[in-house]
Structure 1
Amino acid sequence: MALRARSNGVGFVDRLKTGWTLTKDSVGVIREYPKLLVFPLLAAVASVFFLVFLFLPLVLADVIGGGLEYVVLFVLYFLTTFVSTYFAAALVYAANETFHGREPEIRSSMRAINGRLGPIAVWAVISATVSVLLRTLEDADNPVASILRSLFALGWSIMTFFIVPVLVFEDVSATEMFERSGETFRDTWGETLGAGFGITAIVAVLGVVLVLAALVVSAPLVAAFQGAGVALAIVLVALALVFTYLISQTVWGIAKTALYVYAAEGTTPSQFENFDFQTLGGRTERRATPGSRSDRRPGESFVE
């Protein structure tokens, strides 16, 4: 089910405030279940592996030219999109487990997503194709092409924002996944943008604090043993940035899942009791949609 958005006089500033609340509640879920950080970590490791593995072929293809570089880029985009979507889907599944009072498990969440490998692969092919297209527009020395690329990239980001929850919770075709993702973004656009500002602010502050802490900790060693101190500072700063990245990705996954669950089910996850979903958009009218969950219990998904 999807919920139709209707204006009820809620201003954008109010949406930003509730977006901040949504972000804090998402961080609260991480505090309760820190194991959720494993999913973006696995996605990052897998993506780095493919980047390293295909680095030399990409360089050689770029030297040879003739369009071969775009073929290698397509393979790279497909593989990285597939693995990142797979682990992001596992995170969404695990987050939904917590929303419905169940303990999230890493292995069981990944096993559940194994039943959605087909739709994930289809999405990865489409995403890789679009990424190559955007790359060709970027390489074109044409201001019009640059403008078109920027506009298309923005629209693409909006239309695909909720792709991962749709892949996890709905049995939809390739075209329907974009329709459902776009509908969910439309129905939650204020909360989504508000959450974006909230997540950006929290992550930025966290990153700055961790980097400063790393520099402070390594400062005495730098003064005594410059080489070892600088090496320690580099390692600690790198760890701080990695941890900040993991927090950012996990918070986004949890927040997207919460927004999607409310937009699709009309229910508020218990971890988000401070976040008033119902009054934000006046979404009280439901309508049937392709691949809807009307025939399933709350919290049930297509993955098993």
Structure 2
Amino acid sequence: MPSKYRRSLDITTESLDVFRQHTSLAVLPALSLLAVGSAFAVLTAVAFQFGIVDSLFTNDLYKYGALFCAFAISSSVATFFNAAVVHCASRVFDGEQTSVRDGLTAAWRVRRQIALWAVVAATLGTVLYILDEKFGAIGSVARLVFDLAWALLTYFIVPVIVLDHETGIRRQLRRSGSLFTDTWGESVSATLGVSLIFLIAALPGLVLLAVGYFVLHGAIAAGALVVGGLIVVAAIVGSQTVTAIVRTALYRYATTGERVGPFEAREPASVFPEK
């Protein structure tokens, strides 16, 4: 196995060790999924109640408005609960006691910044969707490029919001982009490693979902779908939690030079070697 993949696996394993010592943090991403699902269920019920379901597919104003709402809800909720995880992970790295309530309180303190960030992200997401839909291949390429650039630019946006207490979207983006470029821009292999590990963990669930839907029938099919769904949800929750732990550790090193959590016993060059 090439060394860079070996390093990625090592960092992922050590991040999982941190997670196993503080499994209560997984409650926060689970609440995030529950909140987003509940919000979408309410919006769907409202759409049926007012008879605008067909308009969501045929009327651009309704469609793009619904997309904006969906992006805003998912972005605000995900950022809020990720901010809670990042705060808790930072306290853990400082050797302090923390709790789900503590994380939620910290996220609530920056709720206005999170709401503003969600509006910006939703606006950009909607615009990119329109470009993709209206301009064919050119729009698709533009969306792909902007999506990638945005992901890199906002790599540290949640730690910047909750730990830096930086205000103003422009300053937050500049701070996040600077941290990524100056310190970790050469590689995000640890984050990719987390994604790979939890993708593998989700595979049994995906198989059960496929078998339950296409092959099985009756109660057995329902059981397979439920178990498969739970496995996939657990993998998503675990991935989000461990990713937040890794990203918080990266942020702490980027801003203070501290090697905490999964990087505590490692030299920086052994994690992300310089070119």
TM-score (norm: length of structure 1): 0.78
Offset at 1:197?
A: 3.0
Q: Which residue of 1 aligns with 2:68?
A: 74
- The residue that corresponds to 1:189 in the other structure is 185
| Equivalent position of 1:159 in the other structure | 153
- Does the aligned pair in 1 maintain the 2:15–2:261 contact within 8 Å? no
Identity %: 29
CA distance in 2, matches of 1:112, 1:245: 23
Which is helix-richer, 1 or 2? Answer: 2
Q: 1:188–1:14: structure 2 CA closer, same or farther, 3 Å change rule?
A: farther
Q: Which residue of 2 aligns with 1:129?
A: 123
Aligned length in residues? 261
Which residue does 1:198 correspond to in 2? 193
Aligned partner of 2:102 in structure 1 is: 108
Q: Is the 8 A contact 1:82 1:120 kept in 2?
A: yes
Q: What does 1:41-120 align with in structure 2 at a 5 Å threshold?
A: 41-55=30-44, 57=47, 59-62=53-56, 65-120=59-114
For 2:25, the equivalent position in structure 1 comes to 36
Deviation at 1:268, TM superposition (A): 1.1
1:242 paired residue among 220, 233, 240: 233
Give the Cα–Cα distance (whole angstroms) in 1 for the partners of residues 58 and 269 of structure 2. 57
Q: 1:9-32 CA deviation, whole Å, 9 max, x = no partner?
A: xxxx65443332221121111110
Distance in 1 (CA, whole Å) between partners of 2:20 and 2:204 is 18
Whole-angstrom distance in 2 between the partners of 1:63 and 1:189: 40
Note the residue ranges of structure 2 that are not aligned, 5 or more in a row: none
RMSD of the alignment, in Å? 2.5
Tell me, in whole angstroms, the C-alpha distance in 2 between the residues paired with 1:15 and 1:179. Answer: 29
How much does 1:209 deviate?
4.8
Q: Which structure would you say has the larger RCO, counting Cα contacts within 8 Å and 6 or more residues apart? A: 1
- 8 Å CA contact 1:19, 1:191 repeated in 2: no
- CA distance in structure 2 between the partners assigned to 1:14 and 1:138 by the alignment: 38
Distance of 1:180 and 1:63 partners within structure 2: 39
Match status 1:231 vs 2:222: yes
List alignment gaps of at least 5 residues for structure 1: 1-12, 284-304
Query: Which of 24, 27, 32 is the equivalent residue of 2:16?
Result: 27
Would the aligned equivalents of 2:249 and 2:262 in 1 still touch at CA under 8 Å?
Answer: no
TM superposition shift of 1:64: 6.2
> Which amino acid is 2:196 matched to?
A
Give SS of 2:95's match: coil
Larger Rg computed on CA atoms: 1
